[in-house]
Amino acid sequence: MNLTLKVWRQKNAKEAGNLVSYKVQDISEDMSFLEMFDVLNEQLINKGEEPIAFDHDCREGICGMCSMFINGQPHGPLRGVTTCQLHMRSFKDGDTIVVEPWRAKAFPVVKDLVVDRSSFDRIIASGGFISVNAGNAQDANNIPIPKPDADKAFDAAACIGCGACVATCKNSSAMLFVSAKVSQLALLPQGKIEASARVMEMVAQMDKEGFGNCSNTGACEIECPKGISLENIARMNREFYVAKLK
Which phi and psi (to 5°) does residue 119 adopt?
Answer: -60, -35
Q: What class is the 117-245 domain?
A: mainly alpha
For the stretch 29-60, pLDDT in tens is 999 999 999 999 999 999 999 999 999 999 89
Give the torsion through C-alpha atoms of 92, 94, 95, 99, to 10 deg. 120
Provide the β-strand partners of residue 68: none
Considering only CA atoms, give the Rg of the chain: 20
Q: Starting at the edge strand that comes first in sequence, how are the strands of the sheet with 96-100 ordered? A: 18-24, 3-9, 96-100, 69-70, 73-74
User: Could you tell me if 34 and 59 are in contact, meaning their C-beta atoms sit under 8 angstroms apart?
Assistant: yes
CATH of 3-111, one of 3.30.470.10, 3.10.20.30, 3.40.50.11540, 3.40.50.11810: 3.10.20.30
**C-alpha–C-alpha distance, residues 231 and 75, integer Å:** 23
Domain 117-245 in the same topology as domain 3-111:
no
pLDDT of residue 167 exceeding 80: yes
Taking the C-alpha atoms of residue 178 and residue 212, their distance in angstroms, rounded to an integer, is: 12
Domain boundaries, the chain: 3-111, 117-245
Q: Tell me the C-alpha distance between 82 and 101, whole Å.
A: 14
Minimum mean pLDDT range among 142-151, 179-188, 224-233: 142-151
pLDDT attached to residue 131 = 82
Mean pLDDT lowest for which of 79-88, 102-111, 137-146, 210-219? Answer: 137-146
pLDDT at residue 175 tops 70: yes
Whole-prediction pTM = 0.91
Q: 150 with 197: CB under 8 angstroms?
A: no
